[in-house]
Amino acid sequence: VEDREAIGGSAFGGQRAVCCTADLAKLGVCPEGEMIHRPSTKNPGWPKVFGISFSEDDEVTTLPLKSIQITKIGMYNLYFIHCDLNLKDLIVEGKTVWKNPTGYLSGRMAPLMNFYGFMSLVFVILGIFWFMQYARFWREFLPLQNFITLVITLGMLEMALWYFDYAEFNGSGTRPIGITMWAVTFDTIKRTIARIIILMVSMGYGVVRPTLGGLTSKVTMLGATFFLASEILELVENVGAVSDLSGKARLFLVLPVAILDAFFILWIFTSLSSTLNKLQTKRMVAKLDIYRKFTNALAVAVIVSVGWICYENAWIIPAFWQILSFSLLCVIRVLWAPSQNSTRYAYSGEANEDFDKDDTNLTLIKPSPTPSKDFRTVPETRTAQGSNGASSNGDLEEDKTE
């Protein structure tokens, strides 16, 4: 890339041209109608230039097969340039093959193959520990833990598919469309379900409320919209593609996903704030403690995400988001791990009904719907026996105490 300035030139500081113009030819800089290039001062032998010419009556000519040995790490460009005005309708057909020492993956993609292989192993280890606890405490399982099981399963499948996708691409030089589509789909499903789970936890689902009530349709709609936007973006970026999208095309597809992500974050932290306030008011210490830890983990994740946006190392960017989502999954897995005390954090009928209905009443014991005969007759008897105000007041105080 640093040798690009050696291609083209200009006369008297004028407009830069790749082909030698009449003005440049008059100065003796170059032969008119030929490409302008100069040897690089930093890289001897570069840029590499291969010329081709047409015979007098030929309409087709072939460039002999060329193989260039790359000895320096960096980005390389290949240009097809013609300066003869008689070749204005020239058509170039053929292909270029680029290969690294380890395979056909580009320098941006090569490290990801090893990364996904490592993450596949990590997810398998996480899954083994989780399913062992699942089998041990399956009678104590919460609805929320079933969703966590689903995310771990999807994660294992996603990492394995990405690894096979990159391995096949690296070995053959052609990206396997089928594997890539499945990897993208599992990735999008996992990210969508993970966001919905975090939102449901923030709302207190399965812990302080049995259902989401009227919010179920809104959460479902947000999740479906996020899935659709993410799926389109990932399919266009990955299926059959090697190069990055152009700036405007990428912005058009990335913007909806970014807006939906921001909406998820806003809704999650708003719900968490409301849930924490209610738990504190009701003095549910165990649940309050677990929610505070969960809130701190989310806050750290958001702060790290914002700080990472400006990082420019291309291959590490997708790896970072995978590591961040895996870290959050591990936090949720630890906080809501299956155990014999799992039901301690679950929704419990009567107490939590008062939790949802009345935020100001601290009494968690519901009164009897129909008073017994004893409670109805005793005050009447005492009132009838009372002969003055003092005795009545005494009975009333006794009634209040009872």
Instruction: Give the three-state DSSP class for 209.
Output: strand
User: Is there a domain that residue 400 lies in?
Assistant: no
User: Is there a domain that residue 304 lies in?
Assistant: yes
Assess whether 35 and 143 both reside in one domain.
no
Burial of 113 (0-12, 13-18, 19+ CB in 10 A): buried
> Given this model, what pLDDT does residue 210 score?
62
Assess whether 334 and 234 both reside in one domain.
yes
Assess whether 222 and 132 both reside in one domain.
yes
End residue of a domain, out of 303, 327, 346: 346
User: Is there a domain that residue 394 lies in?
Assistant: no
Burial of 336 (0-12, 13-18, 19+ CB in 10 A): buried
> Given this model, what pLDDT does residue 79 score?
85
Assess whether 74 and 115 both reside in one domain.
no
Taking the C-alpha atoms of residue 251 and residue 317, their distance in angstroms, rounded to an integer, is 17
Assess whether 145 and 53 both reside in one domain.
no
- Positive/negative CA dihedral, 198, 202, 206, 210: negative
Q: What are phi and psi of 12, to 5 degrees?
A: 55, 40
User: Is there a domain that residue 239 lies in?
Assistant: yes
Is the preceding peptide bond at 367 cis, omega within 30 degrees of 0?
no
Burial of 285 (0-12, 13-18, 19+ CB in 10 A): exposed
Q: In tens digits, what is the pLDDT along the chain, a chain of 402 residues?
A: 778 777 877 766 667 778 887 777 777 777 777 888 888 888 788 888 888 888 777 888 888 888 888 887 778 888 888 887 777 788 888 888 888 888 888 877 888 899 999 999 999 998 888 888 777 766 666 677 778 888 889 999 999 999 999 999 999 888 888 899 999 999 999 989 888 888 888 887 766 666 666 778 888 899 999 999 999 888 888 876 555 555 566 677 888 888 898 888 889 888 888 888 887 877 777 777 888 888 888 888 888 877 666 554 555 667 788 888 888 888 887 777 766 655 555 555 544 444 444 343 333 334 444 444 444 444 444 444 444 444 444 444 434 433
Q: Which two tokens stand for residue 305?
A: 């995400």
> Given this model, what pLDDT does residue 356 score?
45
- CATH at 230: 1.20.1070
User: Is there a domain that residue 204 lies in?
Assistant: yes
Establish how many alpha carbons lie within 13 A of residue 37's alpha carbon, considering only the half-sphere containing its beta carbon. 18
Assess whether 208 and 256 both reside in one domain.
yes
Bridge partners of 100, per DSSP, are: 103
Assess whether 155 and 80 both reside in one domain.
no
Q: Which two tokens stand for residue 49?
A: 């230039």
Secondary structure tally for the chain: helices H, strands E: 11, 0
In this structure, are residues 165 and 179 in contact, taking their beta carbons and an 8 Å threshold? yes
**How far is residue 316 from each of residues 108, 115, 126, 182, measured CA to CA in Å?**
9, 10, 23, 22
End residue of a domain, out of 96, 123, 157: 96
Assess whether 265 and 232 both reside in one domain.
yes
Q: Which two tokens stand for residue 214?
A: 């009227």
Q: Which ranges in 137-175 belong to alpha helices (H)?
A: 143-172
Q: What angle do CA 198, 324, 111 make, to 5 degrees?
A: 145
- Amino acid letter, 301: A
Is the pTM higher than 0.85?
Answer: no
Assess whether 26 and 54 both reside in one domain.
yes
Assess whether 259 and 142 both reside in one domain.
yes
Assess whether 257 and 317 both reside in one domain.
yes
User: Is there a domain that residue 127 lies in?
Assistant: yes
Nearest to residue 210, comparing CAs of 359, 91, 351? 351
Q: What angle do CA 356, 360, 362 make, to 5 degrees?
A: 85
User: Is there a domain that residue 364 lies in?
Assistant: no
User: Is there a domain that residue 73 lies in?
Assistant: yes
DSSP 37: B
Q: What are phi and psi of 32, to 5 degrees?
A: -60, 135
> Given this model, what pLDDT does residue 394 score?
44
N residues, the chain: 402
Q: Give CA torsion, residues 376, 379, 380, 386, to 10 deg.
A: 170
> Given this model, what pLDDT does residue 72 score?
79
Helix axes 373-385, 389-401, angle to 10 degrees: 160
Q: Which two tokens stand for residue 29?
A: 């800089």
Domain count, the chain: 2
Taking the C-alpha atoms of residue 24 and residue 9, their distance in angstroms, rounded to an integer, is 9
End residue of a domain, out of 96, 121, 152: 96
Q: What are phi and psi of 58, to 5 degrees?
A: -80, 140
Helix (H) / strand (E) containing 401: helix 389-401
Assess whether 272 and 340 both reside in one domain.
yes
- Positive/negative CA dihedral, 291, 294, 296, 302: negative
Bridge partners of 19, per DSSP, are: 35
Q: Which two tokens stand for residue 128?
A: 């083994």
**How many of the other CB atoms lie within 10 Å of CB of 319?**
16
Query: Residue 333 is part of which domain span?
Result: 109-346
Place of tokens 């690009």: 4
- Amino acid letter, 336: W
